[in-house]
Structure 1
């Protein structure tokens, strides 16, 4: 039973549920020789043995051990003047390597509490080649002010070799905004649209015309076809409903370039539109950690949660290579994307192919080298169909295409309107390689997939550690030093000489595993003091007033159902007896920047007012 308690504890099952399962198995409390308190004491003792005494010391020992297993493991512990832990940041070697491929767009969110010190878990989250959330580093913070965020962003930037993201999504936190402007001055900073629209009932709910305002605001935000169209509609709404003095609306309009879809669609966001990527990563840790989780418990559960995330990515890789999705058309470009994209991204592209039936294309005019086409799409908006006209610009000389819907700029997937033009002009056999983003390809061997994580006990194998270090060194040479064919020949000749100089050991020779030894003379770090962060309650998630109302209604309905069921069961027992039932690999490609490809300063004819809302 002791072994089962330990395993359940490592799996994130709390002591109460752990003990109740033992009671059920033993067929009653009287058949157990110990109580729940004994279980709790035993688990606490095991945790101390497993992770050491003291949360701050335990997390420091964990980091040192991880760094010894892989020198690319990165961590920073921020201490106050009394050597008490304030903030901590870490990124495993796999996350750092993944950033090379998926670091152009990130989301950052701190609304998730995960331990008894009320230190928000702050993950940096990106999107991998399957469209899945991927962790790119994380932190536990004791405060949420400008100084703390500035420290964190600088630390994360140093961890990622000084390479800043092109775009970042956060909530409306002013301290975050200030820090991003300092640390990432060139990054496009976008606010989470979902968080903003969620505040509408709270900010405008008392207005007598609230329902009309809510519907109109939704239409203005999501269905504005150009910036001028948005401004015109917004001003009409504010004037008609006399909302000129509403400070919330005034602030949103002033910062409209940070959240309104029509203002941000010209930037590559990898399909992300909100911080829900971070929140989905946060929710992924639900079941592993809770508001009472200590730091030393968290770091161990972090490994368990990360393992599941990596297994899902590995499964998606396997399926993309071994399961082919059939084409829905005879167009050559569909087969081209079928062979190149992962299954998830090919499905996104295939949705655009399937929507060709709703589009009608007409050639409008030529302006120099640019041919302009009008594509009318019969689109469904709020259960109503309407015809929306998009403009597609084609430079036949350089084979460059651009659409006013900006789906490619926003998501990296060619839109149905561009595909319509390709079919009309007889160019449906294939598209230029620049339109097949390397970040969505399945035929690239990405370095992060070769790196073992801290949860993998094989990482403690000295032989495998030597292999990993050699791979890191070889990768650095291959990615930064080989610029010509002559360089490549030198490296290959050098490797051939090494094969002769270094004897080849028998692969069956036994390698003795050794656990990493953590030095005992490290600086002693004190546990952090419990803190209360800005408005974050000591629970697993921050909930709005609307969420609480809905949750209470659902709870009341469930209670009523249980009461009604209880009465029914009681009545049935009086009349009848009831019974219960149980029952192909290519070389690494440099990340493609779609924005750079479409910055056509040499051809001013290509500049136009992008007038359609993006695919949010």
Structure 2
């Protein structure tokens, strides 16, 4: 049995081809990172890779990361695990991805460690995932200081599954639940939860009670202190899977998957470049003559300005009332004129430091000002520009220049991969400017020669090691080059619910319909004529139709015959006359 399994795994050369391709990519791009995991029999288990562009993107946009796994994107059914986020245009971007052997805690632990090593040991501030237990435990081990947020879509899905009986019995359940869920602060949430559990007899062993114990991961009142770039679900990750429609499917071989992934990635880059072009070569349509709106139009990318403008437009429809003044802090209550006053938000303005805070926490979570703050800035304080504190450069057209301002986080004398990475980025910028003209080339060459002489004269020099040797694939695989790596086994999704919680891609759904058996009797999918449940009815219906058609045919023939006979008789009568 064991020998048969080994022979089965030796069929094809996909494992070796994958390694050879990734190795080749690293030779072409020294900052390309990959690692693969083999078992004791050299059977490929998992592999992870990220190109230099993805690593560079993480340094700029890696404050919040979405992680999820999707299925059926390759012939071995290996879960596809992309790390995603959004760029300065709110477009989905990728920070590398993996194909995994399974979804156990140890596999996620291996993957997260590889990804952390790839990203210069710089952990994200926030990570958004579903509620998978293995994933949850691995994140606590690898990213202990990262804020872990549960996907709101999965929360809603599980809520429907677990509380439908209570909801059907009690008509007010839905209203009371969302009144608690949308509490503005933690103290209000805890008070409402106590009343909610008493009213509906929520026991300690219920699903809702267990989720209450993890409220810091999903209840909005406990999540207002961290930036999520407007994302609350793993939809970005699942939309990446949908984006691969037309590129990969359930029959795609591993090497083909990687090459098609590269094409899809390139398509993402082109989409970003197009939005950069649109921002730089268009003028925003202003709704008003307010200086605040003009300031935002000059700062944000085109897509982000549209989101800001929606808030700005609503701010003009807001009212406010002054609540109290304590020292330099003035508290206002602000809301739409059509809203109930109890739903208005408190806004605190500090005249001394020109700081302003709103309890809706839109700036803290989404990165741009809410309608409540904008209304006070316009109606009460008459500000002519948005303070720099509230202009997040992440959403500006110059966001990519932030990579050179990334904090190193290392005070030692050792030159880290991050330091080398920053030098590489400056080098690339110099090259781009130098090759724009001959004058630029000559100036840069003269400057660099002088700089190189100064460095050699003032700094003790030794032959540097390459970035790739420090952050590339591990030595075991460099030594294994040429060894026939066995192909992975087909993944069994052990522990997953019968009804998958993942979103199937459109191409998977359409192909599944095509592959289903087609019945020749009823035309339905999933069975043959011999097992057709409607066989008797269809046969009876067909027989009845045949009999009816037979009598109709006889009737039509009789009419035609009578018509011909009538014509003959008429002709004979005319001849006699």
Superposition TM-score, scaled by structure 1 size: 0.67
* Cα distance change on mapping 1:523 and 1:258 into 2, 3 Å: same
1:205 CA displacement: 2.6
- Give the conservation status (yes or no) of the 8 Å contact 1:220–1:234: no
Cα distance per residue 1:500-542 (max 9 Å; x no partner):
9xxxxxxxxxxxxxxxxx9995333111111212345899973
The 5 Å alignment of 1:161-560 reads 161-207=120-166, 209=168, 212=171, 215-216=174-175, 218-220=177-179, 222-244=181-203, 247-378=206-337, 388-446=343-401, 472=425, 474=427, 494-495=447-448, 497=450, 522-536=482-496, 542=502
CA distance in 2 between counterparts of 1:79 and 1:217 reads 52
* Cα distance change on mapping 1:539 and 1:73 into 2, 3 Å: farther
Structure 2 counterpart of 1:117, from 70, 73, 76: 76
CA distance in 2 between counterparts of 1:477 and 1:85 reads 41
* Cα distance change on mapping 1:443 and 1:273 into 2, 3 Å: same
Instruction: List runs of 5+ in structure 2 lacking aligned partners.
Output: 1-10, 404-420, 432-443, 454-477, 517-522, 525-551, 553-577
Q: What secondary structure, in the 3-state scheme, does the structure 1 residue paired with 2:344 have?
A: strand
Cα distance per residue 1:414-460 (max 9 Å; x no partner):
11111111113334210221211111001345489xxxxxxxxxxxx
Q: Which deviates more from structure 2 when the two are superposed, residues 390-399 or residues 420-429?
A: 420-429
- Give the conservation status (yes or no) of the 8 Å contact 1:379–1:386: no
CA distance in 2 between counterparts of 1:192 and 1:427 reads 39
CA distance in 1 between counterparts of 2:422 and 2:383 reads 46
- Give the conservation status (yes or no) of the 8 Å contact 2:123–2:143: yes
CA distance in 1 between counterparts of 2:18 and 2:176 reads 48
Q: What secondary structure, in the 3-state scheme, does the structure 2 residue paired with 1:350 have?
A: helix
1:240 CA displacement: 2.6
* Cα distance change on mapping 1:469 and 1:209 into 2, 3 Å: closer
- Give the conservation status (yes or no) of the 8 Å contact 2:130–2:150: yes
CA RMSD across the alignment:
3.6
Larger radius of gyration: 2
1:71 CA displacement: 0.6
- Give the conservation status (yes or no) of the 8 Å contact 1:74–1:92: yes
Cα distance per residue 1:359-394 (max 9 Å; x no partner):
1122332222222222133467xxxx7762211112
CA distance in 1 between counterparts of 2:102 and 2:185 reads 40
Superposition TM-score, scaled by structure 2 size: 0.71
* Cα distance change on mapping 1:211 and 1:276 into 2, 3 Å: farther
Cα distance per residue 1:156-193 (max 9 Å; x no partner):
01100011000010000111111111111111101011
Cα distance per residue 1:532-556 (max 9 Å; x no partner):
1234589997369xxx9xx99xx9x
Instruction: List runs of 5+ in structure 1 lacking aligned partners.
Output: 1-51, 449-467, 479-490, 501-517, 561-573, 575-616
The aligned residue for residue 612 of structure 1 is none
The aligned residue for residue 9 of structure 1 is none
Cα distance per residue 1:305-355 (max 9 Å; x no partner):
112211211111111111222111221111111011001110111111100
Q: What secondary structure, in the 3-state scheme, does the structure 1 residue paired with 2:171 have?
A: helix
Aligned length: 450
* Cα distance change on mapping 1:163 and 1:210 into 2, 3 Å: farther
